[in-house]
Structure formats: C-alpha cells, structure tokens
Chains A and B, each alone.
Chain A
Amino acid sequence: MKMQILPHQERFRSRIAFGLGAILGIGLMIGERGYIGDTWRLYSEDILFLTVQHIQLVLVSSGLAILVGVPVGIMLSRPRMQRYSEAVLQVFNIGTTIPTLALLALSITLLGIGFVPAVFGLWAATLLPIVRNVFQGLRSVPDYLKEAATGMGMTPLHILRSVELPNALFVIFAGIRTAVAVNVGTVPLAFLIGGGGLGELIFTGIDLNEMQMLMAGAIPVALLSIAADWILAKAQYWLIPRGVNPLRN
C-alpha cells in the first residue's frame, strides 16, 4: 500500500529540512573564524553598499516595468485593440527570446554604460511577463460578467475598474511575481555594463578565482530573491479580495 502524504506531513518535513539548514547555516556563521563570519569581516562594507545598489536596480527597473506593463496590458485587452494585440504580444515574445545579457549589451549601444542602461535592459526583460499576464488576466474575465455589468448600466471605465481588474488581479499579480523573480535574478548581470550591484562581487570573485568574494555576492543575491518572493506572496494573499483569491477561502 502506498502511503499518502498529507499536507501537514509535507509541511512538517519541509520544516525539518528548513531547521537543519538553519542549524548548518548558523554553524557556518558561528564565530569570527567561521566561513561566513570571516567573509562578512572581509566584505561587509562592500556587501552593504552593493546590496543597496542592487535593491535600487530591482525597485527602479521592476517599478517602471509595472508602471508601463499594466497600462499596456490593459490597452491591448480592449476590444478595439483586439486586431493588433496578438501582433504586439508577438513582438514582446521575440523580446524575451533575446538573452538578457545580449539585451544589456544592446542597451550599451543605445545609452552607454552605467545605471541608466542597466535599468533599461532589466526593464525590457521584466516587461513581458507583466504585459502578458495583464492581457491574459483581463481577457479571461468571462463575457457574461461584462454583459451583466453593461446591462446594469456600467460604463466601460467602470467595468474595467470594478469588474475586470479585480477579477484579473490574481493573474496580474502572478505575472508581477514572475517578473520580479526574473528581475532579481538578472540584476547581477548589470555589473557587466557598469550598473553596479552585487554582481560586482560575484564576477570579480570569479575573475580572481576568489571563492569567498564570490560567495559574498552570491549569498545576498539568493537571500534577496527569497525575500522578494516572500513579500510578493504575502501581498498577493492580502491585497486581492477574498472572493477572487484562490489562496483564501
């Protein structure tokens, strides 16, 4: 007989795994002589400075991507744009097939090196999942809801605001979560075009074959990704109305 894994058992297991990991991590960190303690002693200043820079890159580029992506997605989903929407999305799709590194390199030719081209490259890479999910989310709102809304005397703007967007919110949020995850993971590459961030420690560490320096960059990057996803997951849980939130019942 196959044993069934119940949800609470699964949670229990993952807690054990997490606990072991934490103990191991603490063990590594213990004391000035520990590996992480040692790294921190050597690179704390760099880590703090670059982490701030890293976060700035994430916030600015994904913030801009949301600011642009949501309205574009909304516009593409409007009935009178229907003819063009598939074509526009295809252009965006081709955009994502370009490797992010190449995208960053291309933005050098456009904007030179530094913070601005890095933000531009990251923005372009983050945009698609947002636009696509906003579009798909709005398109998947059932027609009869829109018909009921129209039939009761809502204007198109009203319908967008109080029917379409709230009902598409879960899908839209999923897109933003994916986009930010991609973004955080790509930011280290920004260093290559002079954008700064924790990539500086990683790539310099690789070049100098300095494992400790590499880890000083890699570990904060990993922690940042986890933190970002955790924050967005919480936001997704609490910000989306209960009636349309499959996570809440």
Chain B
Amino acid sequence: MIKLEKLSKVFETPGGGSVIAADQVSMEVPEGEICVLLGPSGCGKTTTLKMINGLIQKTSGKIWVAGCDTDEQDPVQLRRSIGYVIQQIGLFPNMTIEDNICVVPDLLGWDKTKSRRRAGELLELVNLDPGIFLKRYPKELSGGQQQRVGVIRALAADPPVLLMDEPFGAIDPINRAVIQDEFLKMQTELRKTIAFVSHDIDEAIKMADKIAIFKDGVLEQYDSPDDLLARPANDFIASFLGQDRTLKRLSLLQVQDVMFGDQVRVMARDDLEKARGLMREVGHKNIVMVGPRGRARGYLHLNDILDSTGKVEEHYQGLPATVNIRDDLRSAVSKMFRHDTTWLVCVDDEGFFKGSITQRAISHALGATYRDSDVATGAAAEAL
C-alpha cells in the first residue's frame, strides 16, 4: 500500500555542506497495517514520512501509495487522498470543529450536508457528543479532545492511507493510553494503512504491526515488534530498545499463546482419591476444581490431601487470582508477583477454565527465541 524504494533526502546546509537525512530507505507497509517509524531525534523518520506526501521533496528514489507512483500525481491531489495528523494537532482556530473536520471533503467538493453528517458520525466514533462539539471552536476543547478531532479530521474523506507524525506526543500519559486504545479499536474496523512516526518504544510496541528503526537516515531494521525485541539486528537497536526489552515482549504475547491447555480437572463431588490419581498420572502438584459447566472454582494441592479422605468440595482452596486468556503476559506476571504464586488458572470471558500458566512457561517462551540464536554463540563459548 505504501512502498518506498531507495528513498533518499540530502539537505544542503548553509555552509555548503550536505546532510543526508534519509539514505536509500526501502520498505513496504502492507494494506491495513500500522508501521511505526521509530528512532532518536534527527534519525530521518519524520523526513521519510513527509516525503511520502511530498511535504519534503525527495532527492532520489521512488514512492508508491496505493499502487500509484507519486511522481505521476499532482501533489495537491495526492495529499487530499492521504490523511495527515501532526503532533501539534493543527486544528484551525478560525473554524468550528465541524468545519475543521470537513476541510478535506470541502476541498474535494463533497456535498455539504453529507460531509456535515459524517463529521457528526466521526465525533461519535471518538466518544465526543456531536450536539455539543460540532459548533465549538478548537480553543474551547481540551488537549485530548483536540487530538481526537485531529485524528478524525484525517479520516473525514475516508482515505485508505494515513500519515501520523507523533500524533499522541503532546498528550499526558493517561489520556494518551486512552486515545491509543480508542485508535486501535477504530483501526480494527477501518483497516487503514498507516505510517506512524514515534520516538516512544512502548507506543511503537503497542501500536505497530511492524516497526522500522532509523538511525542517521538509515533504516536499520524493519520487523514485527516481537521479532525486533527478540532479535535486534545490532547493538544500536538493542540499546535503543533498552535493557528490559525482553520484559517489553511480555506485552506482545497473550496468555493463550503460552498456557497449557486441556488440563485435567475435578468436580466438587469427586472423591479425593480420584484427584490424587489424576495428579500422579500427569505429574502435577495442583489440580483445578471446576463447577458443573466448567467454570474454575478452586484448586487442590497434592501435599494438602496426601492422607485425607472425602470429597473435593470439603478440601478445596479458593483461587487467589485468575487470568483471562486474552490478557497479555505482562498482566499475568504482575498477578503472579502480587499473589506470590508461580502459576495461575486461565479462564475465558465467561470464567470457563481453559488451562494454566506458569512462570516457567513464560520465561521459557521469552527465552525460546534467544536460545535459537544463541546456539552458535553457546557452542563457541564451550569451545573455549
């Protein structure tokens, strides 16, 4: 959908020298995906983004947007077909929110009543009441509200491609998380192709289908967040991602990716003898007790019932915590630490028992990719 080929930008400096802001950047953003351009200040990510809609003239290379070579398009027409969001939001203070949202539809000559109705619908999409906000001016909105309007303004003419230049950079952390979530929810329905500039790694990991890391104008690595965190291509990327990059991967994996499914279980009316038998059979020290329809109710520990007799319901203990199978590992680990336990019962939205997850399994999942790539180094170390 967006394709860059050997894209370069050289700025002439007043002293007669030149600065290479983008150096032979080649990458492709597939349709419906979010690609985050990430890197320290002055790494060329914003320059690359602005070359896509021609705000910065490229020095050499090719750009295709939606299958068309941008060299063959009128830049003004091109920009009208690409949504654009900037960090400073850039709502026009002289226009009402309604007119701000309808800027591009008006430029395209759309029917006014149609575009005004769409403005209202878009406001509802970001939980702002059209009745209140349509006729307001930007200065009457809070920063977070303005940024929401900035995002839907880019969507007004329903462009297939969005360019976003640190769109959530100027918002306080709490609001930012809320707007990011709203935006991701919108994106699952809208499936826009998005190039997104950020300098915030956590934001990139949260938003991106793919991350492009830039340094000094060079595209250093272009990979999915998980691959990037697991296998940084060089020391710069490793240090940019941070010492705790493995922990960052926790938020990329879901509980259901790592849990042991189809676990043995007992019912309240089962005998303890049966529970002991099952535990010995599979070699576990714990067994989960489920309700009549399969909801997780409690658990038994082998050591507690070694010499006991009776029914499960007379001896079970309550579960300290359960974790949803669609939660990320980050919250699973957090729950384990909070309750000082090494395993958790995994349930679905209705509370049905789906499996269990252990600290061992998590550390194994995080370590797996390293072990693959460490085989060579490990062998080399042994040879010494």
Contact = CB atoms under 8 A, between A and B. Distances in A.
B320 interface: no
A142 B138 CA distance: 15
Contacts of B137: 241-243
A163 B80 contact: no
Nearest to B106: A162
Interface stretch (B88-96, B172-180, B245-253, B370-378): B88-96
A99 B86 CA distance: 49
B94 A152 contact: no
A158 B106 CA distance: 12
Contact of A151 (B79, B92, B95, B139): B79
Contacts of B78: 153
Contact of B84 (A152, A163, A167, A241): A152
A243 B88 CA distance: 17
A243 B96 contact: yes
A147 B79 contact: no
Given A167-B93, A167-B94, A152 B88 contact: no
Contacts of A149: 90, 92, 103
A166 B94 contact: yes
A82 interface: no
A206 B160 CA distance: 77
A152 B80 contact: yes
Contact of B93 (A150, A158, A243): A243
Nearest to A168: B94
A149 B103 CA distance: 9
A153 B79 contact: yes
A243 B139 contact: yes
A29 B348 CA distance: 92
Query: Among the interface residues B88, B90, B104, B154, which one has the most CB atoms of the partner chain A within 10 A?
Result: B90
B234 interface: no
Contacts of B86: 144, 147-148, 151
Interface residues of B, number: 29
Nearest to A146: B90
B55 interface: yes
Contacts of A148: 84, 86, 88-92
Nearest to A248: B137
A163 B104 contact: no
A241 to B, nearest CB: 5
Given A144-B90, A151-B86, A243 B79 contact: no
A166 B104 CA distance: 18
Contact of A152 (B95, B96, B104): B104
A163 B94 contact: yes
Nearest to B53: A151
Contact of B79 (A142, A144, A150, A162): A150
B107 interface: yes
Given A145-B92, A162-B92, A243-B96, A151 B76 contact: no
Interface string B86-124: 111111111110000001100100000000000000000
B77 interface: yes
Given A147-B55, A243-B138, A152 B93 contact: no
A218 interface: no
A154 interface: yes
A155 interface: yes
Nearest to B88: A144
Contacts of A167: 92-94
A142 B79 CA distance: 20
A183 to B, nearest CB: 28
A145 B86 CA distance: 10
B55 A243 contact: no
B92 A147 contact: no
Interface string B285-316: 00000000000000000000000000000000
